[in-house]
């Protein structure tokens, strides 16, 4: 997966266009990305076989799979019923990821209003999630999701204390929301990429201030204030040559998809990772 620029299917498919996964086939012919990061929705569990068949028939490359986000919310809430549901759905997600050819699965280990307020639940649940993902043959990546109680970097550190071999996906918008983008460049944190903990990147812009919940939007590159020249210069310096996923929302309220905008982002990234 060397220098692959992926597009999140969640950037293309949403409520305005009926979450129609069949749109992926014609869109793949218009996009200049190298493949996709598949985003699972809650109303697709009874459509798993159909989606797997569609991906196979279209020959779509989906090396990364994003598990349904509310799995993390269930884990954060805790309790036997919530955890049972979270683990059962995660198992379905991992099995589906393997069937579509994904090598990695991204998870929001904490999510929703509860977020990281009951973090002991999230720490304990990781072990079971890891076991499920290993059984399916996919690598588990924990995202630096925004927090209500602390911050994603602190939560990563707590997780590493318990699970020193775990893997992460670094999201630029999530980091910028907490004022933590520069932590990626800090000398004391170089082990995060040197030792292979960070092994995938989500690339999105952010236009709000510190913990500015009203502006927690996924923006295209150049529509916020993240310094992507600095970001990609750093990525080049450390020799990273893995995968990147664009998550910029490309559909409007009518469901129309701006593929030109996404292609401009792909071209920007490709130019900066040469």
DSSP per position, 105-169: EEE-SS-TTTTTTTHHHHHHHHHHHHHHHHHHT-EEEEE----SSS-HHHHHHHHHHH-TT-EEE
Q: In CATH terms, is domain 4-272 a member of 3.20.20.150?
A: yes
Residue 1 reports pLDDT greater than 90: no
The predicted pLDDT at position 274 comes to 79
Residue 13 reports pLDDT greater than 80: yes
What is the pLDDT averaged over residues 136-143?
Answer: 98
% of the chain exceeding 90 in pLDDT: 98
What is the pLDDT averaged over residues 55-68?
Answer: 97
Considering the chain, what is the average pLDDT of its residues?
97
What is the pLDDT averaged over residues 128-138?
Answer: 98
Q: What is the rounded CA–CA span in Å between residue 28 and residue 41?
A: 19
What is the pLDDT averaged over residues 43-60?
Answer: 96
HEC sequence for 196-247: CCEEEEEECECCCCCCCHHHCCCECCCCCCCCHHHHHHHHHHCCCCCEEEEC
Per-residue pLDDT reduced to its tens digit, 30-48 = 999 999 999 999 999 999 9
What is the pLDDT averaged over residues 8-34?
Answer: 96
What is the pLDDT averaged over residues 85-111?
Answer: 98
The predicted pLDDT at position 37 comes to 98
Q: What is the rounded CA–CA span in Å between residue 43 and residue 167?
A: 28
Q: What is the rounded CA–CA span in Å between residue 246 and residue 244?
A: 7
97 token code pair: 């990821």
> pLDDT-derived band of residue 2, with 50, 70 and 90 as boundaries?
confident
> pLDDT-derived band of residue 216, with 50, 70 and 90 as boundaries?
very high
């Amino acid at each position: 997966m060397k220098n692959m620029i992926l597009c999140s299917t969640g950037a293309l498919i949403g409520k305005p266009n009926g979450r129609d996964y069949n749109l992926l086939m014609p869109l793949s012919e218009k996009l200049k990305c190298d493949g996709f990061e598949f985003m699972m929705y809650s109303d697709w569990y009874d459509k798993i076989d159909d989606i797997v068949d569609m991906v196979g028939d279209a020959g779509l490359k989906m090396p990364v799979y994003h598990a349904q986000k509310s799995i993390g919310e269930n884990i954060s809430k805790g309790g036997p019923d919530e955890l049972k549901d979270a683990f059962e759905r995660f198992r379905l997600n991992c099995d589906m990821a393997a069937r579509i050819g994904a090598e990695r699965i991204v998870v929001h280990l904490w999510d929703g209003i509860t977020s990281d307020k009951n973090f002991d639940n999230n720490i304990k649940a990781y072990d079971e999630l890891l076991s499920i993902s290993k059984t399916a043959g996919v690598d588990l990546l924990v995202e630096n999701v925004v927090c209500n109680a602390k911050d994603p970097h602190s939560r990563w550190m707590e997780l590493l204390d318990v699970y020193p071999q775990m893997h992460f996906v670094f999201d630029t918008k999530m980091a910028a929301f907490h004022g933590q983008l520069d932590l990626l460049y800090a000398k004391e944190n170089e082990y995060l990429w040197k030792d292979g903990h960070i092994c995938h990147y989500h690339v999105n812009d952010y236009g709000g201030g510190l913990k500015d919940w009203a502006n927690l939007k996924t923006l295209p590159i150049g529509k916020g204030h993240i310094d992507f020249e600095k970001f990609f210069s750093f990525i080049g310096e450390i020799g990273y040559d893995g995968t990147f996923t664009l998550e910029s929302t490309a559909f409007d309220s009518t469901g129309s998809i701006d593929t030109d905008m996404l292609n401009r982002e792909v071209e920007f990234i490709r130019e900066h990772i040469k």
